[in-house]
């Protein structure tokens, strides 16, 4: 173990070398070590590598960016606190994401977004990352760009999902244009995985009061309703996300949002019931809750009185 520590300290020291070749070799070696040797990750973090890695994200060299971003991603698996507590780390990640159109390599963009997703596993870090509005803006810009590779979009969506898990971040996301960016993906992108990830984020951001107006401007409720229509061929996960979004909208968007959800959902109660019967535990619970929200508890919607719905409505959500 001591030999390993000495080797790592030597490599980290080389990151500050005036020789670009020496720095590049050290970066490559650290990337490989963090990928294959889990025990070395905290040692590398403790040796002071993170500030150098963060600084390298500003490099004009794509190879250096790639190695630094990948190493940070590997370190985030077991040294999340070291990353978050490093001054300027989030600013460096923001820089890498912000320059996704030119300047930052696609691999570095993807690794940077994935690093955020890894950090956001920790509840306490969600408000910290969410307070960086430039990060949210850059992630949204990635998913809006026609030139973004699919993997960049997926990694950005996963990071946005992690940010949206903290309720107080959702209004900032709405303010920065999350609704049109996300719903545009749902409408224009036919790749199932991306639609599923986009609707997962939509379901979270729907859980704030500001979502009502933002969703209305992009006909969001109508688009979610369409996803529950059997004719659209949406995946079960997409349907579960649509149900969750409608439920959150009805609960958090105000009286007008609640009435819109009730009125428009009547036409797809069969699709909601499909989720209640065939979805996962969470999906089933939310679908039953949405059915009860639509029904209003007073039996006013005749179609819900059929035996299929009567059984579901009597279940506990």
Which pLDDT belongs to residue 266?
Answer: 82
Please give the backbone phi and psi of residue 160, each rounded to the nearest 5 degrees, phi first. Answer: -60, -35
79-127 per-position pLDDT tens digit: 999 999 999 999 999 999 999 999 999 999 999 999 999 999 999 999 9
CB neighbour class for 302 (10 Å; exposed up to 12, middle 13-18, buried from 19): exposed
What digits encode the pLDDT tens for the residues 187-239? 988 788 999 999 999 999 999 999 999 999 999 999 999 999 988 889 999 99
Do residues 44 and 35 make contact, with C-beta atoms less than 8 angstroms apart? no
């Amino acid at each position: 173990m001591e030999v390993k520590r000495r080797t790592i300290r030597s490599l980290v020291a080389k990151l500050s070398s005036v020789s670009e070749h020496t720095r590049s070799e050290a970066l490559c070696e650290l990337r490989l070590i963090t990928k294959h040797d889990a025990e070395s990750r905290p040692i590398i973090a403790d040796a002071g590598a993170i500030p150098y890695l963060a600084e390298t994200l500003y490099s004009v060299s794509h190879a250096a960016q790639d190695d630094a971003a990948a190493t940070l991603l590997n370190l985030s698996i077991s040294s999340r606190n070291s990353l978050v507590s490093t001054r300027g780390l989030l600013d460096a990640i923001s820089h890498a994401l912000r320059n996704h159109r030119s300047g930052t390599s696609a691999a570095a963009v993807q690794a940077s977004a994935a690093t955020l997703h890894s950090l956001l596993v920790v509840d306490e870090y969600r408000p910290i990352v969410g307070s960086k509005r430039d990060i949210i803006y850059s992630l949204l810009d990635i998913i809006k760009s026609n030139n973004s590779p699919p993997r960049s979009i997926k990694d950005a969506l996963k990071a946005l999902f992690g940010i949206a898990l903290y309720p107080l971040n959702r209004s900032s996301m709405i303010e920065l244009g999350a609704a049109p960016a996300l719903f545009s993906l749902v409408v224009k992108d036919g790749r199932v995985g991306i639609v599923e990830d986009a609707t997962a984020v939509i379901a979270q951001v729907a859980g704030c009061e500001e979502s009502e107006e933002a969703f209305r401007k992009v006909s969001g409720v109508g688009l979610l309703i369409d996803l529950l229509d059997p004719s659209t061929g949406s995946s079960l996960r997409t349907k579960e996300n649509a149900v969750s979004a409608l439920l959150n909208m009805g609960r958090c968007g105000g009286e007008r949002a609640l009435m819109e959800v009730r009125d428009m959902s009547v036409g797809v109660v069969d699709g909601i019931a499909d989720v209640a019967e065939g979805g996962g535990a969470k999906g089933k619970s939310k679908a039953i809750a949405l059915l009860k929200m639509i029904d209003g508890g007073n039996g006013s919607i005749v179609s819900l009185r059929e035996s299929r719905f009567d059984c579901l409505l009597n279940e506990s959500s």
